[in-house]
């Protein structure tokens, strides 16, 4: 088992034996269920890897790592309620199984449990708590922007990038930085690894936008074209609209917001516009820029380069997914 798989295994073991279950059962069962969907456990892994990179003991970062994973699953649970999503990873969502009130309340309890784990951190607790709280508030802001974008038709690419920074990137950055803080990294190094996380997070989301259109369903794990079907304002769509001639706009307008469109026709037509306007290349170029910035940050971190290999290989795994 390589280090990454081993860490993921350790985190899953810990999550399965957290022992937070008390009465009433029906408050805690939805939490267990939400955590059982699995997933890559990417965020807690980043925390442990950063802690280890700066010479810390991963056991000391375990509570904050688990807290961040609990928090992440809280956001998924409440986002599913807000999106009225029926399915997550092939299973019925919590609100489909237990009802919306249960999903709201058990989601609240998950946020509290997240704090319970984070506040058990022994080293540098003040900074860890401050960062965690600021990050979770920013994620609410990102989710609010995301919801508002649905009904706006003047969203700029810059606004989109700020939204994904808030909604996705800051939690990856916070995961890394809390690990660094627990290990006692210098402020400068902690800030560098935070910025590394931001850039990787942006690249990760851009890749997700690309994969939604150009991915292989088997590798991607979701249906292709989902963003197109629901008129999601992704980097691809916003960039395409910006580059469009009036004829292209007219063609887009045939499909966007058209509830009667046959899904596969819509996916085909919008993808054809993306191809014509070459927005995939724009997204890949921006991804490459983010990746380059991330590597510069990592370069600046004052630890021997062999200490950086696990983080690098996880990053490769993350944003080197086959397109």
For a copy of itself, the binding residues (CB under 8 A) are: 22-24, 26-27, 78, 81-82, 101-102, 104-109, 111-113, 115-116, 119, 129-130, 133, 136-137, 140-141, 143-145, 147-148
In the complex, minimum distance from the CB of residue 34 to a copy of itself, in angstroms, rounded to a whole number = 14
d(Cα 108, Cα 73) in Å, to the nearest integer?
A: 11
Identity of the residue, 147 or 264, whose beta carbon is nearer to a copy of itself in the bound complex: 147
In the complex, minimum distance from the CB of residue 280 to a copy of itself, in angstroms, rounded to a whole number = 30
Identity of the residue, 20 or 220, whose beta carbon is nearer to a copy of itself in the bound complex: 20
In the complex, minimum distance from the CB of residue 132 to a copy of itself, in angstroms, rounded to a whole number = 9
In the complex, minimum distance from the CB of residue 135 to a copy of itself, in angstroms, rounded to a whole number = 9
Identity of the residue, 117 or 252, whose beta carbon is nearer to a copy of itself in the bound complex: 117
Cα–chain center distance at 178? 17
Cα–chain center distance at 301? 24
Identity of the residue, 87 or 147, whose beta carbon is nearer to a copy of itself in the bound complex: 147
- The answer to whether the Cα torsion of 63, 65, 66, 68 is positive or negative is positive
In the complex, minimum distance from the CB of residue 78 to a copy of itself, in angstroms, rounded to a whole number = 6
Identity of the residue, 38 or 99, whose beta carbon is nearer to a copy of itself in the bound complex: 99
């Amino acid at each position: 088992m390589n280090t990454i798989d081993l860490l993921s295994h350790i985190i899953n073991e810990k999550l399965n034996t957290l022992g937070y279950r008390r009465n009433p059962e029906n408050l805690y069962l939805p939490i267990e269920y939400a955590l059982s969907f699995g997933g890559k456990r990417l965020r807690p892994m980043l925390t442990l890897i950063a802690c280890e990179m700066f010479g810390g003991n991963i056991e000391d970062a375990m509570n904050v790592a688990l807290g961040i994973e609990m928090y992440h699953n809280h956001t998924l649970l409440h986002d599913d309620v807000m999106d009225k999503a029926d399915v997550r990873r092939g299973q019925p969502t919590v609100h489909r199984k237990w009802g919306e009130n249960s999903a709201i309340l058990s989601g609240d309890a998950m946020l509290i449990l997240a704090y319970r784990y984070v506040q058990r951190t022994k080293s540098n607790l003040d900074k860890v708590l401050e960062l965690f709280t600021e990050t979770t508030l920013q994620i609410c802001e990102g989710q609010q922007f995301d919801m508002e974008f649905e009904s706006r038709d003047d969203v700029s690419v810059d606004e989109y990038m700020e939204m994904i920074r808030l909604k996705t990137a800051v939690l990856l950055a916070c995961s890394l930085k809390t690990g660094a803080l627990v290990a006692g990294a210098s402020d400068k190094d902690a800030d560098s690894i935070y910025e590394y996380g931001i850039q990787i997070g942006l690249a990760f989301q851009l890749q997700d936008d690309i994969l939604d259109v150009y991915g292989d369903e088997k590798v991607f794990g979701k249906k292709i074209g989902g963003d197109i079907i629901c008129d999601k304002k992704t980097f691809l769509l916003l960039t395409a609209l910006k580059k469009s001639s009036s004829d292209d706009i007219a063609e887009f307008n045939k499909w966007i917001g058209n509830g009667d469109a046959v899904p596969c026709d819509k996916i085909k037509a919008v993808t054809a516009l993306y191809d014509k306007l070459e927005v995939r290349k724009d997204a890949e170029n921006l991804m490459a820029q983010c990746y380059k910035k991330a590597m510069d940050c990592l370069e600046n971190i004052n630890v021997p380069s062999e200490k950086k290999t696990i983080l690098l290989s996880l990053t490769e795994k993350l944003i080197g997914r086959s397109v």
